[in-house]
Structure 1
């Protein structure tokens, strides 16, 4: 998972608070983004696609997706960040000795 840009994060947070953990139609998410944030359909589709590619929205079956909860996403991001930092730190210390 990558860190989101501001607009993506605001939209993801809204969707996660509203639909976090439940299966919902991807089309419904697109129209909700359009209606709530005043974007065009094309922009709303692109944002939902980006969130899917980044792993914040997971495909359940052909028609439905699941928006990951904020806790799950932030836990994964922090865990990967800390493990990378620890790994870099060990490598740097090993090279100095």
Structure 2
């Protein structure tokens, strides 16, 4: 079974795209957007991974985020290349689950 590695929304900081403007904003809701991260793979396609192993990491605001394997298996697909940008909800790659 092919299991996705997905960036969880709670891992990504948000920014206010209208923060530069001065406020008559107290009367309207703030729309937050997720910030962009840069990707680096720590495992290669074909590598065996265990549940919880760090398979790739992202950097946002000089902070490293580690993304782990959701199961034991083999990394079969990388949906992004090193230095590609991504945000919350993106599928980073897939693990073929061990039986």
Q: In which range does the TM-score fall when normalised by the shorter chain?
A: under 0.3
Larger strand fraction of residues: 2
TM-score, normalised with respect to structure 1: 0.25
- Give the structure with the larger helix fraction: 1
TM-score for both structures, normalised by structure 2: 0.25
